[in-house]
A and B are shown apart, each in its own frame.
Chain A
């Protein structure tokens, strides 16, 4: 395998991993605050369809991304209203959000299936993108990929060195204690859920405006769910989310690798790889029950009532 091919594979790996990274970072913040939002797939699809339609109709990719993020936030608020406001079961509410988002996005996008737009162009940074092997991977990407790098660093810093990051963790570990010392539990959780929605919306926009770029019903193909598994894979650690997202990016483009190596395997069978890999990492990471429980935020998925 020559270095050009390898450099291209690394480039595609990061590109493919970007939506996963964005969704997983959002969900990580959400879960750190103790809220399990299984609606990522629905928010992702809504971001994708709203972003695409907005970009197509207005001709402005920027507006597309903005509305994609807003669509994600709107969906997350719907989740927040029912799961946090009404203390409904978070698992069921998240599932409902996904089913609702899948239906609504297909409905909104039905007239726009297969229409082409001029997607987001990559911007190669001078000199840096010339670095052999990793130059193209890190410095010849489109702006959203660069933004995902920045967001990764921001979230890493947020949990490592910021006070609000501590508040989020406190609320996720022990909401009653957090409440007792006067931390705003509900507000923190709402904000965390909204951040998750914004990230999923952005990731959706990335899929339909930059990555593909077009709208197809159900185009996220389980990426929202894979991102949820990524958070488990990352043991709720930010730096591992990046690693995991890119590894999964690699698993999704393995058919390119195989083609490069001259193998011929049915593309339908290779399409199974990312899903099988997800199951595999879940198995590896959850095998030790005690360890798995120690890593997750203690109050994950449990509703909180200030009075109780």
Chain B
């Protein structure tokens, strides 16, 4: 039998090894899965993880996909540090896209440098507003934020679908559930000529640095971390729990909103029903996988973007269902949680440990 034995303290090494171990286990499981499906495991993994980024265009697309995931995940790292379980990045992203689009469509005839900032800000506001609802429900009514944010996700999705079928539908769009194309002044410029990499990636990197400063170098960040580690200690120290909850949720909502408005003004250029293939949920995995640390999140976010692209590649090249992406994401998170056990516990196999203990006893005996 295998036994788990408390380590007595967190293992820093395991905390960083665990995501890597989880990745390896996911790869092994993936290879087994591919073999069971009658695919060559090596070729399939190659298609999934190498082929999408085998050329420069692929690498640029990786950044396009990573931008919204990273923005959501960085925001989540703040709320999760405060142990506020915001599962609503998806809804906040959708609201950012929706409000940003509504704004861009209002300004469709406007020209000038000021159009884009207003559109982006309105998107951030949309996301922050959606998170503010959850903050209000939590601080004022004590409603569980996991359930409220998930419900708000479904509400946001239905609002978005309603909007593209109704008020925001392109009047000249042959009744397709899509908005009109935004004007050029409302579009995010690309960072690199000839690719689709847009300013969203730059925003993500800036947010990464800003959140790092907030969490590691500011008193506010310190308060947020204390609240998450020990809410009673935070209260005793006079930190205002509700205010911190509000701030953390607003930051996370605004960043998710930016991710959403970045999608509609960036690669999409219009509002469509499918802004996000679950970026907000994937960001939860990214935040955990990246250990809520900026650099970890960057790596995990790129990996997650790669899995999205790999899923598409596997669909085209191998005829596998696109749902492969979700399956790999789920496996990754599960293995991570299982491996995280090793942070606080070590594995003991009593059958093996006994002889060692006996030997020590004998040695001690002999020493006497």
Contact = CB atoms under 8 A, between A and B. Distances in A.
Contact of A279 (B85, B151, B166, B284): B151
Interface in A270-292: 271-272, 275-276, 278-279, 282-283, 286-289, 292
Given A103-B326, A286-B143, A95 B87 contact: yes
A93 B339 CA distance: 12
Main secondary structure on chain B at its contact with chain A? helix
A268 B161 contact: yes
Contacts of A292: 142
Interface stretch (B64-72, B96-104, B255-263, B327-335): B327-335
B137 A282 contact: yes
Interface in A89-110: 89, 91-93, 95-97, 99-104, 106-107, 110
A102 to B, nearest CB: 6
Chain A, interface size: which category? 35 or more
Interface in B282-303: 284-285, 288
Contact of B158 (A91, A228, A229, A271): A271
B4 interface: yes
Given A229-B147, A272-B155, A92 B325 contact: no
Interface in B120-138: 137
B327 A96 contact: no
A95 B321 contact: no
B294 to A, nearest CB: 20
Contacts of A279: 137, 143, 147-148, 151-152
B123 to A, nearest CB: 21
B345 interface: yes
Contact of A100 (B152, B165, B334, B345): B334
B141 A283 contact: yes
A89 to B, nearest CB: 8
Contacts of B308: none
12 contacts: A86-B341, A87-B4, A103-B326, A106-B327, A222-B150, A225-B151, A268-B162, A268-B166, A272-B154, A279-B143, A289-B142, A292-B142
Contact of B337 (A38, A82, A266): A82
Contacts of A275: 151-152, 154-155, 158
Interface string B186-227: 000000000000000000000000000000000000000000
B334 A82 contact: yes
A96 B326 CA distance: 11
A225 B150 contact: yes
Given A221-B154, A272-B159, 15 more contacts: A82-B334, A88-B337, A96-B330, A100-B327, A100-B330, A103-B326, A106-B323, A111-B321, A266-B162, A268-B162, A268-B166, A275-B155, A282-B143, A282-B144, A286-B143
A100 to B, nearest CB: 3
Contacts of A226: 151
Given A78-B334, A272-B159, A286-B142, A99 B281 contact: yes
A89 B328 CA distance: 21
A110 B321 contact: yes
B43 to A, nearest CB: 19
B147 A269 contact: no
Interface in A55-92: 78, 82, 86-89, 91-92
Contacts, number: 138
B17 interface: no
Residue in B87, B151, B154, B337 whose Cβ sees the most chain A Cβ within 10 Å: B151
Chain B, interface size: which category? 35 or more
Nearest to B161: A268
Contacts of A107: 321, 323-324, 326-327
B148 A282 contact: yes
A82 B338 contact: yes
A232 interface: yes
A291 to B, nearest CB: 10
A78 B285 CA distance: 18
Nearest to B327: A103
A279 B158 CA distance: 15
Interface in A229-283: 229, 232, 266, 268-269, 271-272, 275-276, 278-279, 282-283
A225 B330 contact: no
Given A86-B341, A107-B324, A283 B330 contact: no
A217 interface: yes
B146 interface: yes
Top 10 nearest A-B pairs (CB, nearest first) are A103-B326, A100-B330, A110-B321, A106-B323, A268-B162, A86-B341, A103-B330, A103-B327, A107-B323, A282-B143
